[in-house]
Chains A and B, each alone.
Chain A
Amino acid sequence: MEIGTASLSLADLPAGSAGCITSVEVGGLLRRRILDLGMIPGTQVRCVRKAPWGDPVALQVRGSIIALRAEDLKRIKVSPLN
């Protein structure tokens, strides 16, 4: 696997770093919500910060900040960007 295309989950993205969504492996209502917020494959997201307990995680998506729980983010795959 080439460097930079290795598939991580959004939960693994450290605060301050960015990634490009490769797949959304979430089902049900949450999937709808995530897609409606524009987190679709190909979208760039940046992990802005983590809450005091490390969860939830605040992400910058299309100009706004969205917080999601870490266990949900585990099922959203990204390829890290520099």
Chain B
Amino acid sequence: MTAQINKRVLREHFGIRARPEQVVVALAGNPNVGKSTVFNILTGLRQHTGNWPGKTVDNAQGVFSYRHTSFLLVDLPGTYSLLAHTIEEQIARDFICFGHPDATLVVLDATCLERNLNLALQVLEITPRVVICVNLMDEARKKGIIVDIKTLEKELRVPVVGTAARIGEGIEDLKEALWQVATQSTPGEPAPVRYSPEVEEAVQELSSALEAVANGPLNRRWLALRLLDGNPSILAGINTYFELLSN
């Protein structure tokens, strides 16, 4: 029961007021990947779709239903990474880490997948409840780029859906994947990021020092990696999170 209360407290900290039975989905992605278009087509909300980095400056929220389940979609700022300490990245990261989304939808640009996968991998390190949406498939086709969704799914071990949100392609599959991930009782296990031996050694060493505390929602491996990054804004985020929980 306390888990439920914690969840509510944390979500409200981010200005999210979901009904108890409502499923909360965080929407993450690089700038310029058509994230807002995906948001609009899922929710039918008329939020203007921007074409420049960081256009979505305040987290917009929208609602949609699928299979008699109500979904609350939270549009996070477009970011290239969750590691740096700009305001926008902090908002996106803190919500994915501490806002308890039931699923996180990561929108990727099919025309430059490498850079977008970098973000997807970072999200997958935080939570296994992820659906990957490879958007702009139509644009990629025009540029002679073909993305093999099945292979991507096999590599990442989470649901991957190819979409062209501007023309409505793949949206039903996306809803289905979101529904499955958000409602399944035990999440799947995404493929772990493979680090070089030096990093692995350092993580192992630090993990043992974290043994006593980081059980539950915070993934210990992730915590160790971020501590090794030495990013003060993440430490501040973790602090706020524990303060909220202990009050």
Residues of A within 8 A of B (CB): 29, 32-33, 36-38, 61-64
Interface size for B (C-beta < 8 A) is 12
Main secondary structure of the interface of A (DSSP, over half): mixed
| Chain B residues within an 8 Å CB radius of A32 | 81, 83-85
The smallest beta-carbon distance between B57 and chain A, in angstroms, is 18
22 A-B residue pairs with CB within 8 Å: A29-B84, A29-B85, A29-B86, A32-B81, A32-B84, A33-B80, A33-B84, A36-B80, A36-B81, A36-B83, A37-B80, A37-B115, A38-B114, A38-B115, A38-B118, A61-B115, A62-B112, A62-B115, A63-B112, A63-B114, A63-B115, A64-B115
Q: Which residues of A contact B104 (CB under 8 A)?
A: none
Q: 18 extra interchain contacts, Cβ-Cβ under 8 A, other than A32-B83, A62-B115?
A: A29-B84, A29-B85, A32-B81, A32-B85, A36-B83, A36-B84, A36-B118, A37-B80, A38-B115, A38-B118, A62-B112, A62-B114, A63-B111, A63-B113, A63-B114, A63-B115, A64-B112, A64-B115
Residue of A32, A33, A61, A62 ringed by the most chain B CB atoms within 10 A: A32
Q: CB within 8 Å of A: which of B23-64?
A: none
CB distance from B44 to the nearest CB of A (A): 30
B93-112 vs A, CB cutoff 8 Å, 1 = contact: the mask equals 00000000000000000011
Q: How many A-B residue pairs have CB under 8 A?
A: 30
Q: What are the interface flags for B221-233 relative to A under an 8 Å C-beta threshold, 1 for contact and 0 otherwise?
A: 0000000000000
| A61 neighbours in B (Cβ, 8 Å) | 115
A65's closest neighbor in chain B, by CB?
Answer: B112
Report how far A33 CA is from B118 CA in the complex, Å: 13
Closest residue of chain A to B82, judged by CB?
A36
- Which residue of chain B has the shortest Cβ distance to A31 in the bound complex? B84
Tell me the bound Cα distance from A29 to B83 in angstroms.
10
